[in-house]
Structure 1
Amino acid sequence: MPKRFRSIFRLVAPLMLLACASGAGPRPAPIGTSLAAPLVIAHRGASGHRPEHTLEGYALAVQMGADFIEPDLVSTKDGVLIARHENEIGGTTDVATKFSSRRTRKVIDGDTINGWFTEDFTLAELRTLRAKERLSFRSHAHDGQFLIPTFDDVLSLADSLGRRRGRAVGVYPETKHPTYFRGVGLPIEEPMLRALRARGLDRADAPVFIQSFESGNLRVLATQTRIRLIQLVSSAPQVTPTALRDIATYAYGVGANTRQIVGDDSSAVPTSLIADAHDAGLRVHAWTLRPEPLFLAKRYGGDPLAEVRELVRLGVDGLFGDYPDQIVTGLRK
């Protein structure tokens, strides 16, 4: 076992054994050619409990019962894929205090952004940084403790944790800003596929989904890999029956915002998105379940488990959440 994971496993293994003994741990359904639905997908790890995209956050998510962990992928200056939600890392690391002079301005996918960008740093430089909680209203008790992991680190962790619990830990990478990164000579797709192939994961029944908001790179990936692809959608024109049938020509499913499925107000009538996607042969994974008042739809009256129950009743195939323990609890009630 890699040395960098030992401290994580010393913490997680007893908790997993206790959870299994009490009947509260991971759900027993296997991940394989026939995926149990709905899947519990740990959004950026257990990001409601630990700083996002850290090995410790991913490990905690698995202990809580997540089927999949989600690493968003961006590139370093030297072409190494790392797990960060954005290539601008001022809000999720201590880069401002350690590299204050490296702040700059860039245009990313049409947006002008000021900050510190992963593609301006080597992996060695980024390894000196520590993660911190992005949101002010969540706990900052773990700020400054955890490293930024590489994609290979995440795959190693998933493999080791899966062996420990006797059931695969799925990995659900998202290619972040793929057109931008290809434009600066640091493409995401090729090193991502190399890493997955090196572990024998380039197959249709592997516990892997690849997701993207862009469709161009997914259409190309569909010709390069058998791994299941998920088209992330965020607007009404993307989820018409005609659009969904087109997505089904290259993707396994769609990742849809919960508001596209159920709306916000208590009087809103759920849309036909799930039924239309299923009619097109697509799975639907909903993002992102979060219990805080800023995020939770008014229709649930402050009860995050009600959101889980409604989405399950509507036939969703997977649920992204910052608190995977809450989703697991909601699925049992």
Structure 2
Amino acid sequence: MSDIKTSDYKTLNKEKPIVIAHRGASGLYPEHTIKAYETAIEQGADFIEPDLVMTSDGVLIISHDSYLSATTNIADHPEFADRKTSRETPLGVQEDWWVDDFTLEEIKTLKARQAFKGRSKAHDDIYDIVTFEEIMDLAIHHANKGRIVGLHIEAKWPNYFASIGHDMVDPLLNGIEKKQLQKLGIPVFIQCFEPSFLNKVSQKSDLPLIQNIAIEKTAKPMGWDIKIEDTTTTGLGIYKELVLNSDGSTSDYVARAHAAGLVVHVYTLRDDAVMEGYSSVEDELIALFNAGVDGVWADFPATALKVRDAL
């Protein structure tokens, strides 16, 4: 591992950067499962990251995708065979099973699967799909035991869900209020790629918001080509290639964001997917922390914590 600079933290607030368990400890267990989240909490993650989508009966559940084939065993359920349909997506027409075509009761008959090639499939078909309420209850359970872990919540495709009558804003904020997360000292960020959703949230809540930045091929067609100077949220969630250069150097992106008063959280650090110019994920993390990032999303949070805590 390269030498880590031991000077003051270069984060916006000069505090220790946070480690966000990306979909839980998703490098080890199927993403967004209780097992993945529990493992991340045991490892010491500062935040866990639930992605929100909605069922046909308007329940917030945890899934990175609005389709179900990649992360569940739905293809093995013959009773749902005729529910597979084609939709136009930002990446073209896709045939799949879509979460908003299923009730929560139906979703609860499915089991989670590891979505990434090369990762262990030993834990497939064991764990349930999780609701947002269950994730909040998990954080509350640990808070009551003296272990505070924050929620870094991402709303996925909220404009689409609003267009079919399932606006996420009130269910999300009402759920947080009902569970009294803030009174329990559980920190919360709300993140999204869609600026209009974050604007709606800001009109009803003072929770810190993170405007996610998409990769260029997605950002331009979706109208998400967002500049630092135009950002009014607490901070930005950016992909690591905006900071890490393929020659091993780093850009001035974090410094520019900090100059605008914005925190910078970076996605996604993966032990098994290291970008060109870096020999290991540890070297990626060192470069990011030395650049002053305020937080990182990691599939293997234990690795990110080990590097961060050596600062």
- TM-score normalised according to structure 2 size: 0.88
Unaligned runs of 5+ in 1: 1-33
| CA distance in structure 2 between the aligned counterparts of 1:265 and 1:226, rounded to whole angstroms | 40
Match of 2:66 among 84, 87, 106: 87
> 4+ residue runs of structure 1 moved beyond 6 angstroms?
none
> What per-residue deviation string (whole Å, max 9, x for no partner) do you get for residues 195-220 of structure 1?
001122469x8500000011111112
2:266 is the alignment partner of 1:286? yes
> What per-residue deviation string (whole Å, max 9, x for no partner) do you get for residues 140-165 of structure 1?
0100000000000000001112332x
Q: 5 Å matches for 1:30-41?
A: 36-41=15-20
Query: What is the deviation of 1:309?
Result: 1.1
The corresponding residue for 1:219 is 199
Match of 1:153 among 121, 134, 142: 134
| CA distance in structure 2 between the aligned counterparts of 1:264 and 1:190, rounded to whole angstroms | 42
> What per-residue deviation string (whole Å, max 9, x for no partner) do you get for residues 41-79 of structure 1?
000000000000111110100001101000100000000
2:104 is the alignment partner of 1:123? yes
Q: Is 2:244–2:284's contact at 8 Å kept on the other side of the alignment? A: no
What fraction of aligned residue pairs are identical, expressed as a percent?
Answer: 37
The corresponding residue for 2:7 is none
| CA distance in structure 2 between the aligned counterparts of 1:206 and 1:253, rounded to whole angstroms | 19
Root mean square deviation, CA, Å: 2.0
The corresponding residue for 1:263 is 245
The corresponding residue for 1:140 is 121
Match of 1:246 among 213, 225, 230: 230
Q: Which has the higher contact order (CA 8 A, sep 6+)?
A: 2
SS of 2:142's equivalent?
helix
| CA distance in structure 2 between the aligned counterparts of 1:260 and 1:194, rounded to whole angstroms | 34
Q: Is 2:250–2:287's contact at 8 Å kept on the other side of the alignment? A: no
Q: Is 2:238–2:267's contact at 8 Å kept on the other side of the alignment? A: yes
The corresponding residue for 1:299 is 277
Q: Aligned residues, how many?
A: 288
Query: What is the deviation of 1:252?
Result: 0.5
The corresponding residue for 1:174 is 154
| CA distance in structure 2 between the aligned counterparts of 1:233 and 1:216, rounded to whole angstroms | 14
> What per-residue deviation string (whole Å, max 9, x for no partner) do you get for residues 277-320 of structure 1?
0011000001000021xx2112221x211111111111000010
Query: What is the deviation of 1:109?
Result: 4.2
| CA distance in structure 2 between the aligned counterparts of 1:117 and 1:192, rounded to whole angstroms | 20
Query: What is the deviation of 1:176?
Result: 0.4
Match of 1:308 among 256, 281, 285: 285
Aligned AA (2:305): V
Q: Is 1:132–1:144's contact at 8 Å kept on the other side of the alignment? A: yes
SS of 1:328's equivalent?
helix
Unaligned runs of 5+ in 2: 1-12, 221-225
SS of 1:298's equivalent?
coil
SS of 1:300's equivalent?
coil
| CA distance in structure 2 between the aligned counterparts of 1:108 and 1:191, rounded to whole angstroms | 25
- Select the structure that is richer in helix: 1
Q: Is 1:234–1:260's contact at 8 Å kept on the other side of the alignment? A: no
Match of 1:186 among 149, 154, 166: 166
The corresponding residue for 2:57 is 78
The corresponding residue for 2:208 is 228
SS of 1:265's equivalent?
coil
The corresponding residue for 2:10 is none
The corresponding residue for 1:67 is 46
The corresponding residue for 1:107 is 88
2:76 is the alignment partner of 1:97? yes
